[in-house]
Structure 1
Amino acid sequence: MKTATESLSNQLMIEFDRMLKVLNHVTDNNSSIPGSELKNPVLDEQQIKHTAGLMRINHTGEVCAQALYNGQALLAKDEATRTHLLEAAKEEHDHLNWCQSRLDELGEAASISNPFWYLHSFAIGSLAAFFGDKISYGFVIETERQVESHLQQHIDDIGSQDPKSLQILQQMQLDEIRHGNDAKNAGGVELPEPVKWVMTGMSKIMKFVSYRI
């Protein structure tokens, strides 16, 4: 019979393996990627750098999303909540793959800051789950709301000059809206305004760093 220490050790090993798979993700071209049937648009060097910066932000955002969900699932109070969060993490993995695919096509790499953001988001997810499933789902609602907003900014920015990136961002936005609605329907509550401000501030730092490196 396993002791509590052994069970915790096994769970931490599982989480470490999940982290490595996210941070060392290699594009799976066999999966369904929005816009994959489209030809690469002709972009000048400045457009490539700018679009790659935006896609790098979204890639890091998906790293954060998976870390948040995994951290929440680790300490979820209810098994149904845990299952829901892990399923959502799988969908975010698809988004990660799409962003990585577009970065590959643009000849650019993911952000070197991703390990920091993964650990940061995992800690936040674990802390949120500690306060109960309603608070945990509240973090999902606010996270998806902020992601939806910055995706819209990127969609407006890219416009029609890059249909391949545009289709990826548009599908991601639809999925994020659904994740937020699912969390609300599961009983998530609105977070206090100061918490939202902190989340917004950290998001701005993440975007500033990930766009550049």
Structure 2
Amino acid sequence: MTSDNLDGPGQRPGDLTDRQRTERMIRVDHAGEYGAVQIYAGQLAVLGRGDKGGLLRHMQAQEQHHLATFNTLIADRRVRPTALLPFWRLAGFALGAVTAALGEKAAMACTVAVEEAIDAHYGAQIESVDSTAPDLRETLEKFRSEELEHREIGLAHGAEQALGYRLLSGVIKAGCRTAIALSERL
């Protein structure tokens, strides 16, 4: 390994460069927003004609904007997207459809669990974004605030009253953490 692969003093061989860390962030966030759009698609397939349809469409539209932003970052910065996108399409839609089939409160519980996992994820990313990517930090901060808005919407619409809320939430959060770890690397 040459010194060209190192970013600065204190960096050890094998450590990620700033560029590699930024690419991982973009890759995993692109995958996450793609998955979020699919979750809402699944929920809308079940609940779209009900009284929560408009609310779900609002949140999906915000996620679609987030995805479009990361699509642009993927192209502009020549970042390889995760190889797992086909899987996240199926898994996201299935998660959305299954939780919606369990009822509106379970669908909202899904939203809360996903957004709590994403809040922690975006928070850690915001802390670690290097000074060469201030635009990425701004994007993450804006999207994090919108994800927290979705969490609040879910709580206001009975998420915590869903049958088995704690178990459902725990399983979904664990799935999100696993998806994050896999999408950063694959």
Q: Which amino acid aligns with 1:209?
A: L
Deviation of 1:72 (Å): 0.9
Provide TM-score, normalisation by structure 2.
0.83
Matched, 1:58 2:25: no
Paired residue for 1:122? 93
Secondary structure of 1:79's counterpart equals coil
Matched, 1:156 2:144: no
Percent sequence identity is 21
Deviation of 1:57 (Å): 0.8
Runs of 4+ in structure 1 deviating by more than 3 angstroms, as ranges, are none
Kindly indicate whether the alpha-carbon contact (under 8 Å) linking 2:18 and 2:130 is maintained by their aligned counterparts in 1.
Answer: no
RMSD over aligned CA atoms reads: 1.9
Q: Which amino acid aligns with 1:207?
A: I
Deviation larger for 144-153 or 159-168: 159-168
Q: What is the aligned residue count?
A: 170
Return 5+ residue gaps in structure 2 as ranges: 1-6, 8-15
Kindly indicate whether the alpha-carbon contact (under 8 Å) linking 1:74 and 1:82 is maintained by their aligned counterparts in 2.
Answer: no
Q: Which amino acid aligns with 1:203?
A: C
Paired residue for 1:205? 178
Matched, 1:100 2:100: no
- d(CA) in 2 for partners of 1:77 and 1:156? 37
- d(CA) in 2 for partners of 1:188 and 1:89? 17
- d(CA) in 2 for partners of 1:116 and 1:197? 21
Deviation of 1:58 (Å): 0.9
Q: Which amino acid aligns with 1:48?
A: R
Return 5+ residue gaps in structure 1 as ranges: 1-43
Secondary structure of 1:179's counterpart equals helix
- d(CA) in 2 for partners of 1:203 and 1:122? 14
Q: Which amino acid aligns with 1:60?
A: A
- d(CA) in 2 for partners of 1:112 and 1:184? 33
Match of 1:70 among 38, 41, 44: 41
Secondary structure of 1:55's counterpart equals helix
Provide TM-score, normalisation by structure 1.
0.73
Kindly indicate whether the alpha-carbon contact (under 8 Å) linking 2:119 and 2:144 is maintained by their aligned counterparts in 1.
Answer: yes
Paired residue for 2:11? none
Kindly indicate whether the alpha-carbon contact (under 8 Å) linking 2:114 and 2:176 is maintained by their aligned counterparts in 1.
Answer: no
Secondary structure of 2:79's counterpart equals coil
- d(CA) in 2 for partners of 1:131 and 1:194? 14
Q: Which amino acid aligns with 1:118?
A: R
Kindly indicate whether the alpha-carbon contact (under 8 Å) linking 2:109 and 2:165 is maintained by their aligned counterparts in 1.
Answer: no
Q: Which amino acid aligns with 2:169?
A: K
Paired residue for 1:194? 167
Q: Which amino acid aligns with 2:133?
A: D
